[in-house]
Structure 1
Amino acid sequence: MAIYVVMEPPRSRPDSDPVYVRDGYSLFAFLLPLVWLLWNRLWIETLVFLAITLGLGYLGEQAGAAEVAVAGFSILLAIFIGIEGAVFRLWAMRRRGWTEWGVVEAHDREDAEARYVSESLAPAEKPVLAVPMRPGAPQPRGTDTGAPELGLFGYPGRN
């Protein structure tokens, strides 16, 4: 199963659908990083990629480094873009005003969309009222919230 980050559109574009960004390695981003960056409209990341690539070429030419070393650094850069491509897309979307709804685990994009819709249409959980406590007073029964607990303390999150 894959992990999808669900990004909701900004308020200025209410007619847009949510975008599901799959977290994982992108083979296309590794094989053709410049094309992949341009295809996903990652303009700042494209400029940084070009600057690093041209800088590597210039340093390789000035230092008289072997072409193998420059090619090796270029391959490492392509591997990095393949690994972190989804993160670059999320950064760009956040810059454009998109908000992160949450994370969905699904087999494919359609399954992720179905899970997002079912969770977003689900009724809100009933709020738990806090019982005021006095120091030294016993805790009243029936205050178990049913929330998951880790060790001695509960932690917030979805069930």
Structure 2
Amino acid sequence: MATFLFLIPPGAKSGDEKARIIRDRFSWVAFVLPIFWLLWHRAWLAAALAFAVQALGAAISDHPVFGLAGLGICLATSLIVALEGPAMVVAGLEHRGWTVDAVISADDRATAEEIYYTETPAGEAQTRDSVSLPASETSARRHAPMLGLVGFKEGR
């Protein structure tokens, strides 16, 4: 099962067809080409930071003593972008006014879209076993994001 985040633009209602769907998973493309992946997803500041850190790692890797440390810096940067890249994209969209409308666990994107866009005639979403709804309304405690990860309103 994969987790899909549905973000709606500012001023849009839930279930809007302009919703952006982001799959929260490890990305091999982001691991191999982290800077290009970030540029493709318009995370300009993160791409500039990743470029600076990887350039520093490449400069250090030429040193005879610290060569492995430089390679470790480059590898760590790629790993962070591959694991947290979707969270960086979500954070950038939230900064621009988008809101996370739903967090859905499904086998594939088509199933997640079907769950998100299928509603009863009364306008209320149907109850499904494979839906992971945000739990922020059911919890009295508020938790902040941990370890630098982006919080999804306790929906994961």
The answer to whether TM tops 0.5 is yes
When residues 122 and 83 of structure 1 are mapped into structure 2, their CA distance, relative to the original with a 3 A threshold, is farther
Distance of 1:3 and 1:11 partners within structure 2: 24
Query: What is the identity, as a one-letter code, of the residue corresponding to 1:67?
Result: G
Match of 1:96 in 2: 96
Match of 2:81 in 1: 81
% same residue: 29
| C-alpha deviation, 1:124, in angstroms | 4.0
Q: Mapping of 1:9-158 within 5 angstroms?
A: 9-11=9-11, 17-58=18-59, 60=60, 65-119=65-119, 123-124=123-124, 155=138
Distance of 1:31 and 1:107 partners within structure 2: 25
Q: Which has the larger radius of gyration?
A: 1
| C-alpha deviation, 1:43, in angstroms | 0.3
| C-alpha deviation, 1:62, in angstroms | 9.5
When residues 76 and 45 of structure 1 are mapped into structure 2, their CA distance, relative to the original with a 3 A threshold, is same
Give the gaps of 5 or more residues in structure 1. 126-154
Using the size of structure 1 for normalisation, the TM-score is 0.67
Distance of 1:54 and 1:117 partners within structure 2: 44
| C-alpha deviation, 1:64, in angstroms | 5.4
Instruction: Tell me if structure 2 keeps the 8 A contact 1:9–1:16.
Output: no
SS at match of 2:103: strand
Distance of 2:79 and 2:120 partners within structure 1: 35
Query: What is the identity, as a one-letter code, of the residue corresponding to 2:68?
Result: V
| C-alpha deviation, 1:46, in angstroms | 0.7
When residues 48 and 16 of structure 1 are mapped into structure 2, their CA distance, relative to the original with a 3 A threshold, is farther
Distance of 1:2 and 1:65 partners within structure 2: 42
Q: How many residue pairs get matched?
A: 127
Greater relative CO, 1 or 2 (CA 8 Å, sep 6+): 1
| C-alpha deviation, 1:120, in angstroms | 8.4
Query: What is the identity, as a one-letter code, of the residue corresponding to 2:7?
Result: M
Query: What is the identity, as a one-letter code, of the residue corresponding to 1:44?
Result: L
Distance of 2:19 and 2:121 partners within structure 1: 14
SS at match of 1:102: strand
| C-alpha deviation, 1:67, in angstroms | 2.3
Query: What is the identity, as a one-letter code, of the residue corresponding to 1:106?
Result: A
Distance of 2:122 and 2:23 partners within structure 1: 23
Distance of 1:39 and 1:30 partners within structure 2: 14
Instruction: Tell me if structure 1 keeps the 8 A contact 2:4–2:23.
Output: yes
